[in-house]
Structure 1
Amino acid sequence: MQKIRTISLCGLLFVTSFSSQAITPIDTKENPNQGWGGSVGIGLEGESGTKDEQEYAANLILRHVKEQRTALLLSNYNYAETNDVKDEDDLFVHGRWTENNFFRPMLDWELFAQYQYDKFDDLSSRELLGSGVRWRFEDKSDEGKLYTSLGAGGFFEHEESDSQNEENNNWRGNFYAKWVWDRADAFPYTLYGQLYLQPVLDDLGDLRATGSGGIKFGITEALALHLEAEVEYDSEPFEEAEETNWEYAIKLSYSFD
Structure 2
Amino acid sequence: MRVFSGALVFVALSFCRVPRAWAQINVERLRDDLRLSPALASLEGSFTGRTGNVESLVVGAGAMGAARWRRNSFFASTQADYARFGSETRVSKSFIHLRYDYDLLPWLAAEAFVQQQQDKFQRLNLRELIGTGPRFLIADERDVRVAYGMAYMLEYERIAVPAGAPDDPVVVAHRWSNYLTATWQMDSRVRLVGTTYLQPRFDAFGDFRVLFESALTTEIAKRLAVKVLVTVRYDSRPPTDVKPTDAEIKNSIVVTF
On whether the aligned pair clears a TM of 0.5, the verdict is: yes
Q: Which amino acid aligns with 1:190?
A: R
Cα displacement string for residues 186-226 of structure 1 (whole angstroms, at most 9, x for unaligned residues): xx310111111000001111101111112111111111111
Equivalence map 1:71-110=2 (5 Å):
71-100=74-103, 102=104, 104-110=105-111
Q: Which amino acid aligns with 1:166?
A: P
Change (3 A) 1:47 1:16: farther
Q: Which amino acid aligns with 2:148?
A: L
Q: Which amino acid aligns with 1:138?
A: D
What does residue 115 of structure 2 align with? 114
What does residue 58 of structure 2 align with? 55
Moved more, 198-207 or 22-31: 22-31
Given the two structures, how large is their TM-score scaled by the length of structure 1? Answer: 0.85
Is there any run of 5+ residues in structure 2 with no aligned partner, and where?
A: 163-167
Q: CA RMSD in A?
A: 2.4
Higher RCO (CA 8 Å, separation ≥ 6 residues): 2
Q: Measure the CA separation in 2 of the matches of 1:112 and 1:157.
A: 12
Cα displacement string for residues 89-128 of structure 1 (whole angstroms, at most 9, x for unaligned residues): 011221100002x1x2220000101111111112111111
Q: Measure the CA separation in 2 of the matches of 1:86 and 1:249.
A: 19
Change (3 A) 1:44 1:59: same
Structure 2 contact 9–45 (Cα < 8 Å) conserved: no
Structure 2 contact 28–181 (Cα < 8 Å) conserved: no
Q: 1:158 aligns with which of 156, 159, 166?
A: 156
Task: State the Cα distance separating 1:25 from its structure 2 match.
Answer: 5.4
Task: State the Cα distance separating 1:148 from its structure 2 match.
Answer: 1.4
Q: Which amino acid aligns with 2:10?
A: S
Q: Measure the CA separation in 1 of the matches of 2:78 and 2:109.
A: 23
Q: 1:67 aligns with which of 49, 61, 70?
A: 70
Q: Measure the CA separation in 2 of the matches of 1:15 and 1:47.
A: 17
Structure 2 contact 6–48 (Cα < 8 Å) conserved: no
Change (3 A) 1:227 1:65: same
What does residue 205 of structure 1 align with? 206
Structure 1 contact 129–155 (Cα < 8 Å) conserved: yes
Is there any run of 5+ residues in structure 1 with no aligned partner, and where?
A: 1-11
Q: Which amino acid aligns with 2:112?
A: L
Q: Measure the CA separation in 1 of the matches of 2:37 and 2:57.
A: 39
Indicate the SS of the match to 1:254. strand
Indicate the SS of the match to 1:30. helix
Q: 2:7 aligns with which of 9, 14, 30?
A: 14
Structure 2 contact 9–254 (Cα < 8 Å) conserved: no
Q: Measure the CA separation in 2 of the matches of 1:15 and 1:223.
A: 11
Change (3 A) 1:83 1:46: same
Change (3 A) 1:252 1:25: farther
What does residue 178 of structure 1 align with? 181
Given the two structures, how large is their TM-score scaled by the length of structure 2? Answer: 0.85
Change (3 A) 1:67 1:31: farther
Equivalence map 1:205-224=2 (5 Å):
205-224=206-225
Q: Measure the CA separation in 2 of the matches of 1:213 and 1:69.
A: 26
Sequence identity, in percent? Answer: 22
Change (3 A) 1:210 1:61: same
Number of corresponding residues:
238
